[in-house]
């Protein structure tokens, strides 16, 4: 055939494919979410096969191994004992609480590892919501933001490098920035969960932490999965309030949102491949229906291609090891 344009010429060998490759994946792109609990046990998480709730010792070992493979950062999620959960989530700002102790241990053992913390009340609040619940069931915005500032300051005092508000309250980025700056923490960065959707893909995570809402859902603060223009509004707000990095969550089903943010901000963008996305790959592979390693890598490259600079993923250590091999 007289064909001047033959795109297959650029795919004919591994060497040429490497030259024309548009998107790279590296361990440096990963942020490793880690679950922690009190005590000395490391407990496999039933709702998330392959994931563990770590003791502090287990955390140091796991974070150390991931860091040695080139993963620059971890983000911590605590399981708080039921008797410490209260309506006002006071435990979230306890300097001797699980998260601050974990931050101090990590920074001491692994000084070059970046420690990110989740700022939201759901693990601490007896109602299982990210904010304070009024008697009539409403989630109180401004009252919640005050508590989140105390939580972020507690993490900063313990040595957190980045705080990541995942609560979706309005005005929390500015309040955190002001609070951190007023206390001398001008170098603590804010990774804002900018477009966090009210997603059923979080189910396995809530099982891991026993943090599901006791009543109602999260639709008055997390976004409607149908909306993308609204994500740009959140993006403009977080940017104006001083966020250092933005996040889209979940990742895989929301690649268009990642691309839309990429086109509308100069800030770095993170995407969170959440528990349900992880679990679907694990389950498909456990059934023998898909190739876990290949689907894992394809899911991650897809998220990067959409425009994410960094990916929070439960595959961080496994994928980093594969990329290093």
User: Which residues contact ligand PBG (rule: CB under 6 A)?
Assistant: 118, 120, 122, 130, 166, 202, 205-206, 218, 274-275
Please, which residue, 265 or 275, has the CB nearer to ligand PBG? Answer: 275
**Which residue is catalytic, options 85, 218, 249, 282?**
249
Euclidean distance between CA atoms 170 and 184, whole angstroms? 24
Please, which residue, 109 or 295, has the CB nearer to ligand PBG? Answer: 295
Residue 72 C-beta: closest distance to ligand PBG, Å: 19
- Count of C-beta atoms within a 10 Å radius of residue 31: 24
Residue 25 C-beta: closest distance to ligand PBG, Å: 20
Please, which residue, 203 or 268, has the CB nearer to ligand PBG? Answer: 203
Please, which residue, 58 or 123, has the CB nearer to ligand PBG? Answer: 123
Residue 46 C-beta: closest distance to ligand PBG, Å: 15
Please, which residue, 79 or 218, has the CB nearer to ligand PBG? Answer: 218
Residue 78 C-beta: closest distance to ligand PBG, Å: 11
Euclidean distance between CA atoms 21 and 238, whole angstroms? 33
Q: Which two tokens stand for residue 284?
A: 């498909």
Q: How many alpha carbons lie under 13 Å from residue 55 in its C-beta half-sphere?
A: 7
Angle, helix 292-306 to helix 275-286, in steps of 10 degrees: 150
**Which residue is catalytic, options 61, 85, 107, 196?**
196
Q: Is residue 85 annotated as part of the catalytic site, yes or no?
A: no
User: Nearest to ligand PBG by Cβ — which residue?
Assistant: 205
Residue 20 C-beta: closest distance to ligand PBG, Å: 34
- Bridge-based pairing of strands 73-78 and 139-140 is unpaired
Q: Is residue 61 annotated as part of the catalytic site, yes or no?
A: no
Phi-psi group of 288: left, alpha or beta (phi > 0 → left; psi -120 to 50 → alpha; rest → beta): left
DSSP string, 169-227: -TTHHHHHHHHHHHTT-TT-EEEEEEEEB--GGGHHHHHHHT---SSS-STTTSBPTT-
- Count of C-beta atoms within a 10 Å radius of residue 93: 20
Catalytic positions, written as ranges: 196, 249
């Amino acid at each position: 055939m007289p064909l001047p344009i033959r795109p297959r010429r650029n795919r004919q060998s591994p060497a040429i494919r490497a030259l024309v490759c548009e998107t790279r994946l590296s361990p440096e792109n990963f942020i490793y979410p880690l679950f922690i609990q009190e005590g000395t046990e490391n407990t496999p998480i039933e709702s998330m096969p392959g994931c563990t709730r770590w003791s502090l010792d287990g955390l140091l070992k796991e974070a150390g191994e991931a860091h040695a493979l080139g993963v620059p950062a971890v983000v911590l999620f605590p399981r708080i004992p039921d008797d410490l959960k209260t309506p006002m989530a006071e435990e979230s700002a306890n300097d001797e609480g699980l998260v601050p102790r974990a931050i101090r241990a990590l920074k001491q053992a692994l000084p070059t590892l970046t420690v990110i913390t989740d700022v939201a009340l759901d693990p601490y609040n007896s109602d299982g919501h990210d904010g304070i619940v009024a008697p009539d069931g409403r989630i109180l915005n401004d009252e919640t933001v005050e508590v989140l500032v105390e939580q972020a300051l507690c993490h900063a005092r313990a040595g957190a490098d980045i705080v990541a508000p995942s609560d979706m309250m309005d005005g929390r980025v500015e309040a955190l920035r002001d609070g951190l700056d007023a206390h001398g923490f001008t170098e603590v960065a804010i990774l804002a969960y900018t477009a966090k959707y009210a997603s059923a893909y979080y189910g396995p995570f809530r099982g891991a932490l026993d943090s599901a809402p006791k009543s109602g859902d999260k639709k008055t603060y997390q976004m409607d999965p149908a909306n993308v223009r609204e994500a740009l509004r959140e993006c403009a707000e977080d940017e104006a309030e001083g966020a250092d990095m933005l996040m889209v969550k979940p990742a895989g089903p929301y690649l268009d949102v990642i691309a839309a943010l990429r086109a509308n901000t100069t800030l770095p963008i993170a995407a969170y491949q959440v528990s349900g996305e992880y679990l679907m790959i694990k389950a498909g592979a456990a059934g023998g229906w898909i190739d876990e390693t290949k689907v894992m890598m394809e899911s991650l490259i897809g998220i990067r291609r959409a425009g994410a600079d960094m990916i929070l993923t439960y595959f961080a250590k496994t994928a980093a090891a594969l990329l290093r091999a």
